[in-house]
């Protein structure tokens, strides 16, 4: 892994802000906000999720105050700023200016998926706590860099994968972890297909968009309107398909239910049908298998997949857990959380001395966000920390890579490397582009 360097990051671009500094004001012990302090926040990325976070922090969180907004799209930035009175917030198109401010305690990062990791790393090094949308990283080296930055700085980083805050998921987790399903030996994740499409031509970017910053750490490509908005998830470099979008939610629940946060597969196999036309390059259909022989477990991702408990398939995504005592279908991951046919799993109460899942004060939205603010004050680990997030992202990264290379991958999960495959490891360890590398 490349050494994390604030100096190289700041020196890489003439437009960089002044050197990053750790906040100097004392808000509590060791410079952290005290239990009764208001947490000052900068919002980086103001699309759908970014504006959702900004709105909640502004309107519903009495102990938070938004001071700064950042987006590389001037129109989007202005639309967010219009929610505030003149002088109430400052606006930027370069997030490094926010990181340089010593009056901001924490940042929310809701940029496009491929641009999550660099601002997370450098926010930690600037002394900010972080809420970063999932997936927290798009490459293995990015995930390693985030973990190293958190370890080095002691910052609180919450990943916006909210499944562990859903109303029924803690009970389902306890149901499985306490053995009521027996030994779970197979999991089948189901989801609908990725779309084909994207027929626009490359062109000059609109004046209100700083395209070079939007591309950020990804491989350079000319501006194309098909890359912007929700369609970005159907480009392997910018999103990675539904396995990286919704899949991180489904696999997050699976990792929690089966206690896989500290481990990984040893073999990954993938196949899929590439799109027949258009700019999108994610496979339309996709099948991935992760093998965990040390846990006597096989996990499958299927697009399209089938929920065996729902002949009408009214539940479009989820996972089936096959145990020695039966099978349990759990829908959703970011939403949902209904269990079939063992409905008692939804209201399960752990026995005395059994495993008890951590519960936030409020399950479901805004559980993750509320938990993050609380942990900033207490300095406790948040409910969705960066370690498990890195393991979950690795499953998606390896699935896409096995598809791209067209061959199985032997994975050393303890050292984050593909065994005896230099080509595959080069794909996994791309550190980024220009000033946006980690």
Residues 196 and 345 in one domain: yes
Domain shared by 126 and 17, yes or no: yes
| CATH number for 310 | 3.30.360.10
**How many Å apart are CA 220 and CA 225, to the nearest integer?**
15
Q: Is the pLDDT of residue 29 over 60?
A: no
pLDDT higher than 60, residue 301: yes
- Note whether 170 and 275 are same-domain residues: yes
**Judgement on whether residues 255 and 135 belong to the same structural domain of the protein:** no
- What pLDDT score was predicted for residue 362? 54
What sign results for the dihedral spanned by CA atoms 38, 76, 13, 89?
negative
Between 363 and 352, the higher pLDDT residue: 352
Report strand pairing: 326-332 vs 318-323: antiparallel
Is 428 part of any domain?
no
Confidence of residue 163 (pLDDT cuts 50, 70, 90): confident
- Same-domain status, 104 and 210: no
346: in domain:
yes
Over residues 353-364, mean pLDDT: 76
Which pLDDT belongs to residue 358? 86
For the segment 164-199, what is each residue's pLDDT rounded down to a tens digit?
988 899 999 999 999 999 999 999 999 999 999 999
Residue 260: give the domain boundaries: 165-356+389-419
Reply yes or no on whether the pLDDT at 77 is more than 60.
yes
Asked if residue 92 and residue 67 are part of one domain, the reply reads yes
Per-residue pLDDT tens over the stretch 269-282: 999 999 999 999 99
Q: Is residue 427 part of a domain?
A: no
Q: How far apart are CA 350 and CA 41, in angstroms?
A: 38
**What is the average pLDDT score of the chain?**
90
Domain membership flag for residue 107: yes
pLDDT score of 11 more than 70: no
The enclosing domain of 78 has a CATH number of 3.40.50.720
Domain count of the chain? 2
């Amino acid at each position: 892994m490349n050494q994390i360097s604030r100096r190289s990051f700041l020196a890489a671009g003439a437009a960089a802000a002044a050197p990053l500094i750790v906040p100097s004001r004392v808000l509590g012990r060791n410079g952290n906000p005290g239990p009764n302090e208001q947490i000052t926040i900068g919002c980086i990325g103001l699309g759908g999720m970014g504006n959702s976070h900004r709105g909640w922090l502004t309107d519903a969180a009495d102990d938070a105050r938004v001071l700064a907004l950042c987006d590389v799209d001037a129109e989007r930035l202005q639309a967010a700023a219009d929610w505030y009175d003149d002088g109430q917030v400052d606006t930027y198109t370069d997030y490094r200016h926010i990181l340089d401010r010593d009056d901001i305690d924490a940042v929310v990062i809701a940029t496009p998926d491929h641009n999550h990791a660099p601002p997370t790393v450098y926010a930690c090094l600037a002394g900010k706590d972080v809420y970063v949308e999932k997936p927290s990283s798009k490459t293995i080296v990015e995930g390693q860099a985030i973990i190293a930055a958190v370890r080095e700085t002691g910052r609180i980083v919450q990943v916006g994968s909210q499944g562990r805050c859903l109303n029924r998921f803690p009970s389902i987790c306890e149901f499985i972890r306490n053995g009521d399903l027996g030994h779970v030996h197979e999991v089948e994740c189901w989801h609908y297909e990725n779309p084909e499409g994207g027929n626009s031509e490359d062109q000059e970017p609109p004046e209100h968009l700083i395209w070079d910053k939007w591309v950020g750490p990804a491989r350079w490509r000319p501006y194309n309107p098909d890359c912007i908005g929700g369609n970005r998830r159907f480009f392997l470099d910018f999103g990675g398909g539904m396995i990286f979008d919704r899949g991180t939610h489904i696999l997050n629940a699976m990792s929690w239910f089966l206690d896989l946060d500290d481990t990984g597969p040893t073999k990954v196999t993938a196949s899929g049908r590439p799109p027949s036309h258009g700019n999108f390059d994610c496979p339309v259909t996709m099948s991935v298998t992760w093998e965990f022989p040390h846990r006597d477990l096989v996990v499958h991702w299927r697009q399209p997949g089938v929920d065996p408990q729902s002949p009408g398939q009214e539940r479009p995504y989820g996972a089936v857990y096959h145990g020695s005592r039966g099978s349990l279908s759990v829908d959703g991951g970011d939403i949902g959380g209904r269990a079939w046919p063992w409905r008692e799993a939804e209201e399960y109460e752990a026995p005395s001395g059994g495993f008890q899942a951590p519960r936030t004060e409020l399950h479901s939205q805004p559980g993750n966000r509320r938990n993050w603010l609380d942990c900033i004050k207490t300095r406790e680990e948040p409910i969705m920390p960066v370690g498990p997030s890195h393991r979950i992202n690795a499953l998606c990264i390896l699935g896409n890579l096995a598809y791209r290379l067209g061959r199985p991958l032997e994975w050393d999960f303890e050292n984050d490397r593909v065994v005896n495959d230099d080509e595959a490891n080069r794909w996994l360890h791309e550190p980024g582009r220009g000033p946006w590398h980690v």
